[in-house]
Amino acid sequence: MLKQFKTIVFGGLLALSPFFAGQAAAQSQGTVIYTVQRNDTLYGIADRYLVSSESARQVQRFNRVRNPRHLSINRRLRIPRNLLRHEPVQLIVSSFSGPVTIGGEAPATDMILNENDIVMTGPNGFIRFSSGFGGRITLPSNTTAQLIRARRYILGNTLDVDFSVTRGRATASSPTLEGQDRVRMRTPVAVTAVRGTEFRVAYDPENGDNSLTEVTEGAVQVAAGGQERAAPAGFGVSSSAAGVSEPEALLPSPQFLDRGAVQTDELLNFSFEPVVGAKGYRVQLGRDAGLLDIVSEQVVNTEAATMQSIENGRYYVRVRSISESGLEGGNSDSDSFLRKQLGVVALAGASPDYDSFNFSWTPSGGESATFAFQIWLQDTPETLLVDEVGLTATKIALTNLSAGKYEWRVAVTETDPEEGLIKVWGEAQTLTVSQ
């Protein structure tokens, strides 16, 4: 069970955690508890842990301390987090692709995300941040987010990270937190607090004023509309200004039907089994098995997805179901496949030489490819008149073809270290030879 250690203000409503009480200005930031030690004074505490000497007077008023030079041992002082000295916690760009900006500028690997920076991703834009405390945040396509706070207070070496998603989705993971550490993900209507988990948040202002939280590992505490509710792994909640819904079980992940070990066509095609209760599916393509480095995604309302403009290489694909409430289920296993665009454009014509026909082709892809050639009479396709393999030239000439109607085709072949021989046949074409 998560400790209720946060205080949240949103939508004009004040939601107070029972762990804290006091002035609203401090509640919006939350506080950290300090237990008074022998010989402590408020001025000594300020010298060690607070941003200024004036902060001591604020802490005195906040805790109603009569004498700042005489504090009872073991007294618990509530210190507003905004008064605490701190060092920045670095969230570093570990990977990105497509249209992404940070503060209106293009990102770079190892770039540091600063407090108040706004991150925006466009269609098929993705960015992932890693941190020194072991957390990770990934923003997929069409998302706008802002880092509110990322710091570690000198007092208790306490972690405090606050990230806001104002449009789109975010996936976050956090290690198990200790003491008064705090990691929160918020939308305009809800705040999700974690103490070691993996989860997703989503907010789409164009489709109602609802915020979604989906938990895949651990547990989270979601606050909205003056309510606070726990959501365990495998469940999600919907939040609005009216409060937080009862946890809803996430839909199971679909299973791929035939993604193909090698995809050679111009378009990538994926199909999967339907899931009862799903209104749609999110299909994601990445460069690694964990899909930390996403290159493309698509939301579809049928059990099939098509992607284009994907370069050659090895990729991983996964899919998850979307329920009627908009909550997205668990990820399917990531299936690997080789994207190797191969093909041939072929044509035939009469040769200047008597009784000879030229067949030629232009390959696409396959720098080290060889070719295969077949021809047969249209009425007897089971009998190949020519069946050549291992050709390195892009043309072949045939002589003494009898009158008749023929069909022929060309294949491009290439050997992959993992998949072995890859052979892609072009469409069969017809050739009529007259007397």
- Show the tokens assigned to 86: 């701190």
> Residue 234 has what DSSP assignment?
T
250 in Cβ contact with 238 (< 8 Å): no
Q: Give per-residue pLDDT as tens, 166-197.
A: 999 999 999 888 899 999 999 999 999 988 89
pLDDT of residue 28: 43
Torsion on CA atoms 193, 196, 197, 203, rounded to nearest 10: 20
- pLDDT of 11 strictly over 80: no
Q: Give per-residue pLDDT as tens, 363-400.
A: 876 667 889 999 999 999 999 999 999 998 888 888 88
* Predicted TM-score (pTM) of this structure: 0.75
429: enclosing H helix or E strand: strand 429-433
Amino acid identity, position 268: L
pLDDT of residue 139: 96
pLDDT of residue 105: 95
147 in Cβ contact with 113 (< 8 Å): yes
- pLDDT of 353 strictly over 90: no
In angstroms, the CA 144 to CA 165 distance is 6
**What is the mean predicted confidence (pLDDT) over 29-40?**
91
In angstroms, the CA 241 to CA 71 distance is 42
Compute CA 12 distance to the chain's CA centroid, rounded to the nearest angstrom: 31
In angstroms, the CA 297 to CA 316 distance is 12
> What is the percent of the chain where pLDDT is above 90?
62
| CA-derived radius of gyration, the chain | 31
In angstroms, the CA 133 to CA 153 distance is 13
Q: Give per-residue pLDDT as tens, 75-106.
A: 999 999 999 999 999 999 999 999 999 999 99
210 in Cβ contact with 187 (< 8 Å): no
397 CB burial (10 A radius; 0-12, 13-18, 19+): exposed
Q: Give per-residue pLDDT as tens, 287-328.
A: 888 888 888 999 999 999 999 888 888 899 999 999 999 999
> What is the percent of the chain where pLDDT is above 70?
90
The DSSP result for 97-157, as a single string, is: ESSEEETTB---TTPEEPTT-EEEE-TT-EEEEEETTS-EEEE-SSEEEEEEEEEEETGGG
pLDDT of residue 321: 97
**Predicted confidence band at 354 (pLDDT cuts at 50, 70, 90)?**
low
- pLDDT of 163 strictly over 50: yes
In angstroms, the CA 281 to CA 213 distance is 17
364: enclosing H helix or E strand: strand 356-364
Helices 54-63/42-49 angle, 10° precision: 120
358 in Cβ contact with 322 (< 8 Å): no
- Residue 82 sits at φ, ψ, to 5 deg, of -70, -10
In angstroms, the CA 7 to CA 221 distance is 12
pLDDT of residue 424: 83
